Chains A and B, each alone.
Chain A
Amino acid sequence: MIKKLLVANRGEIAVRVMRSCKEMGIKTVAVYSDADRKAKHVRYADEAYYIGASPSSESYLRKDKIIEVAKKSGADAIHPGYGFLSENGDFAQLCEDEGIIFIGPSPYAIHTMGDKITARQTMMEAGVPVVPGSKEKISSEKRAMEVIRQIGLPVMIKASAGGGGKGMRMVKEESEVISALRGARSEAKSAFGDDAVYVEKYISSPHHIEFQILADKFGNTIHLCERECSVQRRHQKVVEETPSPLMTAELREKMGRDAVAAAKAVNYYGAGTIEFLVDDDLNYYFLEMNTRLQVEHPITERVVGVDIVREQINIANGLPLTYAQDKIRQRGHSIECRIYAEDPENNFMPSPGIIKEIVEPLGLGVRTDGYMYEGFEIPIFYDPMISKLIVWGETRMEAIMRMRRVLDEYKISGVKTSLSFLRSIMETPDFVEGNYNTHFIEKNFDFLMSKRNCDKHCEDIAMIAAFVEYLSKLEKTQPTTQFDVYFNKWKDVGRIKAAMRI
């Protein structure tokens, strides 16, 4: 049984994993880079070890250093979180070779699903429908052009080692191919250390729906129903919800069955996610399998009442699944908003910096998974996602109303965040009606960017607040006790005159 667990990650997910560990009586070990000495996961863990410089290639991606820390600290297991080494089969193999439990599937399953081309072939053999596309990796720019001409535009260029929207580009015209290819490659290289890419036919106006899978080492495989992830910006998920407004009971059963079949095709064990593209006629295609814990796992936890990290640890311990498929029921509705440190008004430019003030929302049906605290500096080296807000409601509308309330309540100052953008999403009629696909943000962009009504009066109040702050700063730099800075000079003159008289 696992007694001490090393989390080979940072940020909110490291904290999230440690929470379950603490509830299970498992000791936690954090690793950190130069930029993360003050990070929450370091403070939260029982033990913490330095592993290198700030760029992830010199710290969180260093397999050797992480293994070294696991041995030094006596950790019997490593949880990789998401991103970094989570879908690195070689790392899973290395852990196995070193006698450390890797919290995740077998190296074989990671390699097969991680290589998107092999994954597609495996799915075809298992009878799961896939998106048409290139059969092998794109080796050169010339080869890319050939393949793209063959499939026909528009296409998606994707990192073969990819996931989480990184290293992915959509191409509508031939003139964009070269720059898209280079961009995807460079991003893939820095995010995954592998710049191989492939090309896939672009499915127009798809829904992005995924199924959460749990499988133990005895061949028991279940799904925890779907997550609707169609609200995306530049292929990055922004809002997720479950159940999907598009889903029917029949479709859920059919897709769930295929998702389980997909996992079984690679003898999967652990937690994983099967991503599908679904068109308006409810045809669906296997997109990829994420062989790790997913960012948006909390909404599933909320509606089915399963702690997915706890299940991952149990499975790694060689225990059978706690739940059977017929015990899995969705209750109510859950929505997650991802909060990014970026400036929606300035083309979503990343906005790292020091958190000046943070007030997290509370109340019934609210969960925040984050890692910020006042005074913490969000580093420039890592993902801009700084927090997740998860709400639950008896109905979808209740969940939306609650999300509006908590977005208003959430206050983060010091860095720019996407909070106001998320708030606008919750107001958008297409979202409220549940009538949206992956083009949602593009389609509703003007509405999403429109300012909330503000009359002259609230402008005045903003001016007043800035003015009062300006005056109080001015006051601090001058040795005066009075608020009205204008008259103090005269007092000073008076004092000097009085002193001169003596």
Chain B
Amino acid sequence: MDFEVIIGERTAKINLLESTGNLLRIAVDDKVYELDSVTTGNGVYSIISNGKSYDIDVVQGKSKKHFIVNSDMNEYKVEIEDAESRYMKAMNKAKGFDEGNTIYCPMPGKIVKVLVAAGDTVEAGQTLVIVSAMKMESEFKASKACVIKEVAVKEDETVTGGQKMIVIE
């Protein structure tokens, strides 16, 4: 079983070579790390590597394979790719499904206005939907000229983070 980790533009092979209690040997590409890793069980890790102490926080992202890692003020979006996710990605690609064509709501909030309907032709930069959260209104705009394929939300509807709002062609 092999795993790959995607962090920004970089993809690396990762492998757990050995684990004895807290002590782990993990290979990232060709580099082998000897680590002492303990956790509170809540995504909070204290990792000691080569005498250096890291205080790291791992929060689950949009799926069980997506993580947001906070370490020393740096935040990373990390994706673990296993056999299953590779298979799913290949399937989606084969079906012509592209994540980039869907606008998701990044945070929980309330739909203030839906300015387009399915079938509308919109220009780049045109506002499609306005979401209100925490007294702020955020406008979601078309990144390119396109046709609206689907509008999945309606005005006054409460949305959750990650909910699909608009699909473009």
Contacts and interface: CB of A to CB of B under 8 A. Distances in A.
Interface of A: 166, 183, 186-187, 190-191, 341-343, 345-347, 349-353, 356-357, 380-384, 407-408, 411, 413-414, 419-420, 423, 451-452, 454, 458-473, 483-484, 486
Interface string B48-79: 01000011111110001101011111111010
Contacts of A468: 24, 26, 37, 39, 45
B27 to A, nearest CB: 10
B153 interface: no
A431 B27 CA distance: 42
A466 B69 contact: yes
A465 B70 CA distance: 10
Contacts of B133: 350, 352, 380
Contact of B134 (A380, A423, A467): A380
Given A357-B44, A462-B76, A463-B28, A483 B19 contact: yes
A380 B28 contact: no
A191 B107 contact: no
Contact of A357 (B31, B37, B57, B71): B57
Given A352-B133, A454-B74, A459-B76, A464 B28 contact: yes
A486 B3 CA distance: 11
B97 to A, nearest CB: 23
Given A356-B43, A461-B54, A470 B67 contact: yes
B146 interface: no
Nearest to A483: B19
B7 interface: yes
B16 interface: yes
Given A407-B73, A423-B73, A467-B5, 15 more contacts: A350-B134, A351-B107, A353-B108, A411-B55, A411-B70, A419-B73, A461-B54, A463-B12, A463-B28, A466-B78, A468-B37, A468-B39, A470-B64, A470-B67, A486-B1
B124 interface: no
A166 B135 contact: yes
Contacts of A420: 73-75
Interface string B16-38: 10010000101010010101010
Contact of A349 (B45, B60, B78, B107): B107
Given A466-B78, A468-B24, A383 B135 contact: yes
Contacts of B136: 350, 384
Contact of B78 (A191, A351, A383, A462): A462
Per CB-CB distance, the 6 closest pairs between chain A and chain B, nearest first, are A466-B78, A350-B134, A384-B134, A466-B67, A469-B58, A350-B133
B39 A472 contact: yes
A401 B58 CA distance: 28
Contacts of A414: 59
A228 to B, nearest CB: 25
B134 A383 contact: yes
Interface residues of B, number: 56
5 contacts: A349-B138, A459-B10, A462-B76, A463-B7, A470-B67
Contacts of A190: 132, 135
A382 B71 contact: no
Residue in A349, A351, A408, A463 whose Cβ sees the most chain B Cβ within 10 Å = A463
Contact of B107 (A166, A350, A465): A350
Given A464-B28, A464-B47, A471-B16, A413 B33 contact: no
B10 A191 contact: no
Contacts of B31: 460
B119 interface: no
B135 A484 contact: no
B23 to A, nearest CB: 11
B74 A469 contact: no
B43 A357 contact: yes
A270 B12 CA distance: 62
A344 to B, nearest CB: 10
A187 B112 CA distance: 12
B6 to A, nearest CB: 9
Contact of B106 (A349, A357, A459, A484): A349
Contacts of B75: 345, 420
A413 B7 contact: no
Contacts of B43: 356-357, 413, 469
B16 A466 contact: no
Contacts of A408: 72-73
Residue in A353, A423, A461, A472 whose Cβ sees the most chain B Cβ within 10 Å = A461
Interface string B141-166: 00000000000000000000100000
Contacts of B56: 461-462, 465
Contact of A382 (B72, B80, B110, B135): B135
A352 B108 contact: yes
B69 A458 contact: no
B71 A465 contact: yes
A191 B132 CA distance: 12
Contacts of B134: 341-342, 350, 352, 380-384
